[in-house]
């Protein structure tokens, strides 16, 4: 028998079962990724660089990014061509483009593409121009922003509302304005970075409660009050947790706060508008509208805009926020276009059409969760526009994210600092305008891709141990 030539080898390769060839190619890529470190490490390693040169000491994180990016494993800073529709064109940071099913945008009620919202924006642009020309305390308010304050007060049944240019600013501004250094904060371990960073900036007296654990909050409050009855305590939680899609028992939490003379702040960024009767979010769902001390929210998920608010029953609290919350006092107010867009969204959210949009959204949510469960995937939390799929290993979720992008299914792959190290997940976000066909098409791709990524990483690591 003659020795095979190079040409014979090529013939053998082309005859290979395409699926086997794809797995062989994936194994080759995984080996290369494991060798060059692009699957390893987490952003936690680079968070606190050391050295005297503030600029040069950032270089290690860029080297790590470069390795990941070269292997298609950098999930951040992708860009969208056009509006955040369920079918969208996306480009990654390295410039690779794809068009496919989009579970990575936050526009829960699809109001960013609602014609009434577009008209409201165009009208405001014509009538008041594109920007606010001042902070909210220095002539940055407009007729529309004042109407928006009233509309938010109606939506959350809490009389006094201060607006902020971002949800981030509302969270950080409210906490740092209300809490002094001698006061205390008790905050859920999975609270959003804006709340955690606000807490750290306000006081060194920060206690972290186990996620959703009201008993633990009670314990912490009891311990604080046993040694300090002279200072204030702020308890901080979310209506719907942004990475876990779960919700605390708000009535129990508010009762415990009052028992110990503490104040409760609930961040409703993800649930207000998209959930609950009349779009009142988890607070309305739990029958607590108008009964929470401080309600803070963002307009960036269900209100087709940027911006945030804090609502309170107290006129003096609003006055205090106006004077001492930095992002309210010292940052330009929401633009007239933003205010008009949010106002229009609230009108839709509180109408029959709002009920229909929430019903469409929940039909999609229930459908996606059921189809992912059928693929053997665990969806965390309660049904909401956020569907987190716990993966754990950053390596597996990174590879899954890359392979899904290549198959035109777009999800956000989340890891530290979004979630703790080792608790990586895929975060899918739904919109009213998704349809069941897209969901049915995507779910098996997601299920098979997670399994394929897990197997490929396990096999690659086993080869390295040999
Ligand atoms: C729970 C929570 N609070 C606050 C914010 C900040 O809101 P924004 O992005 O609108 O500034 C976010 C945004 O991701 C969030 O998820």
Give the residues surrounding ligand 1 with Cβ less than 6 Å away: 166-168, 171, 192, 194, 238, 242, 267, 269-270, 298, 300, 306, 308
Cα atoms in the 13 Å half-sphere on the side-chain side of 142? 22
The number of the ligand 1 atom at minimal distance from the alpha carbon of 169 is 11
Q: Which of 169, 171, 173, 429 to mutate to test the pocket of ligand 1 (most atoms within 8 A of CB)?
A: 171
User: What is the whole-number distance in angstroms between the Cα of residue 298 and the centre of ligand 1?
Assistant: 6
Q: Which residue has the tokens 């197997």?
A: 455
**CA terminus-to-terminus distance, the chain:** 34
pLDDT classification of 15: cutoffs 50, 70, 90: confident
CATH of domain 114-349: 3.40.640.10
Q: Tell me what pLDDT residue 9 has.
A: 41
141-199 residue pLDDT tens: 999 999 999 999 999 999 999 999 999 999 999 999 999 999 999 999 999 999 999 99
Q: Name 420's Cβ contacts closer than 8 Å, sequence gap at least 6.
A: none
Q: What is the mean pLDDT of residues 17-44?
A: 92
CATH of 79-108+352-466, one of 3.90.105.10, 3.30.390.30, 3.90.1150.10, 3.40.50.1100: 3.90.1150.10
Q: What is the mean pLDDT of residues 78-83?
A: 93
The number of the ligand 1 atom at minimal distance from the alpha carbon of 308 is 10
User: What is the whole-number distance in angstroms between the Cα of residue 310 and the centre of ligand 1?
Assistant: 13
User: What is the whole-number distance in angstroms between the Cα of residue 269 and the centre of ligand 1?
Assistant: 6
Cα distance between residue 424 and residue 411, in whole Å: 13
H, E, C per residue of the chain: CCCCCHHHHHHHHHHCCHHHHHHHHHHHHHHHHHHHCCCCCCHHHHCCCCCCCCCHHHHHHHHHHHHHHHCCCCCCCCEEECCCCCEEEEECCCCCEEEEEECCCCCCCCHHHCHHHHHHHHHHHHHHCCCCCCECCCCCCCHHHHHHHHHHHHHHCCCEEEEECCHHHHHHHHHHHHCCCCCEEEEECCCCHHHHHHHHHHCCCEEEECCCCHHHHHHHHHHHHHHCCCCCEEEEEECCCCCCCCCCCHHHHHHHHHHCCCEEEEECCCCCCCCCHHHCHHHHHCCCCCCCCEEEEECCCCCCCCCEEEEECCHHHHHHHHHHCHHHHCCECCCHHHHHHHHHHHHHHCCHHHHHHHHHHHHHHHHHHHHHHHCCCCECCCCCCEEEEEEECHHHHHHHHHHHHHCCEECEEECCCCCCCCCEEEEEECCCCCCHHHHHHHHHHHHHHHHHHHHHHHHHHHHHHC
Q: Tell me what pLDDT residue 283 has.
A: 98
- Write down the domain spans for the chain: 79-108+352-466, 114-349
User: What is the whole-number distance in angstroms between the Cα of residue 460 and the centre of ligand 1?
Assistant: 38
Average pLDDT along the chain = 95
Q: Which of 104, 190, 192 to mutate to test the pocket of ligand 1 (most atoms within 8 A of CB)?
A: 192
Cα distance between residue 181 and residue 177, in whole Å: 11
Q: Tell me what pLDDT residue 466 has.
A: 86
- Residue 121 confidence (pLDDT) above 50: yes
Q: What is the mean pLDDT of residues 30-41?
A: 93
User: What is the whole-number distance in angstroms between the Cα of residue 270 and the centre of ligand 1?
Assistant: 8
User: What is the whole-number distance in angstroms between the Cα of residue 25 and the centre of ligand 1?
Assistant: 40
Q: Tell me what pLDDT residue 3 has.
A: 36
User: What is the whole-number distance in angstroms between the Cα of residue 31 and the centre of ligand 1?
Assistant: 38
Q: What angle do CA 159, 339, 294 make, to 5 degrees?
A: 30
Q: Tell me what pLDDT residue 7 has.
A: 41
387-413 residue pLDDT tens: 999 999 999 999 999 999 999 999 999
359-394 residue pLDDT tens: 999 999 999 999 999 999 999 999 999 999 999 999
Of the candidates 446, 399, 426, 439, the one whose C-alpha atom is nearest the C-alpha of residue 39 is 399
Strand order in the sheet with 409-410: 79-81, 87-91, 97-102, 409-410
Q: Answer whether 267's CB lies under 8 Å from 261's CB.
A: no
Q: Which of 269, 297, 381, 418 to mutate to test the pocket of ligand 1 (most atoms within 8 A of CB)?
A: 269
Q: Tell me what pLDDT residue 99 has.
A: 97
Of the candidates 443, 160, 86, the one whose C-alpha atom is nearest the C-alpha of residue 321 is 160
Q: Whose CA is nearest to atom 8 of ligand 1?
A: 167
Cα distance between residue 229 and residue 31, in whole Å: 59
What is the phi-psi region of residue 456: left when phi exceeds 0, alpha when psi lies from -120 to 50, beta otherwise? Answer: alpha
Q: Which of 104, 190, 241, 242 to mutate to test the pocket of ligand 1 (most atoms within 8 A of CB)?
A: 242
User: What is the whole-number distance in angstroms between the Cα of residue 190 and the centre of ligand 1?
Assistant: 13
pLDDT classification of 215: cutoffs 50, 70, 90: very high
């Amino acid at each position: 028998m003659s020795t095979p030539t190079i040409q014979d080898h090529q013939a053998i390769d082309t005859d290979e079962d395409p699926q086997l060839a794809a797995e062989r190619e994936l194994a080759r890529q995984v080996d290369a990724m494991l060798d060059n470190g692009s699957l390893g490490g987490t952003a936690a390693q680079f968070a606190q660089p050391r050295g005297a040169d503030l600029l040069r000491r950032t270089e290690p994180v860029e080297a790590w990014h470069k390795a990941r990016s070269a292997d298609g494993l950098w999930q951040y800073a992708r860009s969208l061509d056009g509006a955040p529709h369920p079918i969208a064109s996306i480009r990654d940071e390295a410039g690779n483009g794809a068009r496919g099913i989009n579970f990575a945008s936050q526009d829960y009620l699809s109001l960013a593409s609602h014609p009434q919202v577009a008209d409201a924006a165009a009208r405001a642009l014509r009538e008041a121009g594109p920007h606010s020309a001042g902070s909210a305390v220095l002539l940055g308010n407009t007729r529309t922003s004042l109407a928006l304050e009233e509309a938010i007060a109606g939506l959350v049944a809490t009389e006094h509302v201060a607006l902020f240019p971002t949800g981030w600013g509302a969270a950080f501004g409210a906490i740092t304005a209300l809490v002094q250094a001698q006061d205390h904060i008790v905050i859920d371990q999975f609270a959003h970075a804006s709340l955690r960073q606000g807490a750290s900036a306000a006081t060194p007296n920060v206690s972290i409660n186990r996620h959703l654990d009201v008993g633990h909050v009670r314990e912490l409050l009891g311990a604080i009050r046993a040694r300090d009855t002279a200072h204030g305590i702020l308890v901080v939680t979310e209506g719907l947790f942004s990475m876990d899609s779960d919700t605390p028992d708000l009535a129990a939490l508010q009762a415990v706060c009052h028992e110990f003379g503490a104040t409760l702040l609930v961040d409703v960024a993800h649930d207000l508008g998209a959930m609950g009767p009349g779009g009142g979010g988890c607070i309305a769902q739990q029958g607590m509208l108008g009964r929470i001390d401080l309600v803070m929210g963002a307009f960036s998920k269900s209100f087709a805009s940027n911006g945030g608010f804090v609502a309170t029953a107290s006129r003096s609290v609003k006055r205090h926020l106006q004077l001492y919350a930095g992002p309210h006092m010292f940052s330009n107010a929401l633009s007239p276009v933003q205010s008009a867009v949010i106002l229009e969204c609230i009108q839709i959210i509180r109408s029959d059409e709002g009920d229909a949009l929430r019903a469409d959204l929940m039909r999609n949510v229930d459908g996606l969760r059921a189809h992912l469960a059928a693929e053997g995937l665990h969806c965390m939390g309660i049904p909401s526009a956020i569907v987190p799929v716990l993966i754990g290993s950053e390596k597996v979720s990174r590879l899954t994210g890359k392979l899904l992008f290549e198959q035109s299914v777009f999800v956000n792959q989340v890891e530290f600092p979004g979630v703790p190290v080792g608790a990586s997940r895929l975060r899918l976000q739904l919109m009213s305008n998704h349809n069941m066909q897209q969901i049915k098409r995507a779910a098996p791709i997601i299920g098979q891709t997670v399994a394929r990524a897990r197997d490929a990483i396990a096999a690659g690591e086993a080869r390295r141990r040999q």
